[in-house]
Amino acid sequence: MLISEMNWMQVEQYLKTDNRCILPTGSTEQHAYLSLSVDTILASRLAREVGDLAKVPVYPVVPYGLAQQWTAFPGTVTLRIQTYLALIHDVLDSIRRAGFRRILLINGHGGNAPAQGMLREWMMDNPDATVKWHNWYNAPRTWQKVLDIDPIGSHASWMENTPWTRLDGVEMPTQQKPLTDLNKLSILSPQQTREQLGDGNMGGLYQRSDEDMLAIWQVAVEETLALLEGGWN
């Protein structure tokens, strides 16, 4: 159930029986040999699949986030923190104004974390509404499935290489890249980050089988659906 495939009268009719909706958020940033829209593609797809299963409306994905560390890689887009917080705040205000009171925010990019802290403030000002922030990629069951398959992986590695995020005609390296020292990376400038990482993969194989990736995806769908249908108080 995509909001983009509904009119306002259909939304109004839906709200007579349910006040849940889903808002996916992603990012446009380097992912080595994968699409620049990895985080956006995955958050959007997960939201759509879960929304279809639960028959809950899904808002269009927010495609831009906080990606300052990747700005030396062409194609990356980043917002300033205050801009991003204001954007999410305004979107939530509009969703609530429409009549939704239970909002599942499916986040696909770790850099967007500052918005999670803002949600408590937003709910303080809107005590009749609840927002669940869901980092789908490292939620407990999904992350455990990742570790069961291969504990060595990171940004732009096999962990994000799905049938929907790889690009036609682009061949993946076959070696396993050593894991990056995250403490060292955290103090580097964007240009130094690019020099340190080279292609942008932060560690691990570049690709695993579709069987492995779809097994992880199935767990992610089940875990996210359970969160949507679980307690909201």
pLDDT of residue 6: 97
Cα separation, 211 vs 140, in Å, equals 20
Distance of CA 220 to the CA centre of its chain: 12
pTM, entire model = 0.95
Question: For 26-32, what is the mean pLDDT?
Answer: 98
Mean pLDDT of 136-149: 97
Does residue 233 have a pLDDT over 80?
no
Cβ-Cβ contacts under 8 Å for 111 (sequence gap 6 or more): 27, 29, 65, 66, 67, 68, 69
- Tell me which of 128-137, 179-188, 203-212, 213-222 is least confident: 179-188
Q: Provide the 3-class DSSP secondary structure of residue 154.
A: coil
What domains appear along the chain, each with residue ranges and CATH number?
3-229 (3.40.50.10310)
Average pLDDT over residues 51-71: 98
| 79-100 pLDDT tens trace | 999 999 999 999 999 999 999 9
Confidence at 186, pLDDT banded by 50, 70, 90:
confident
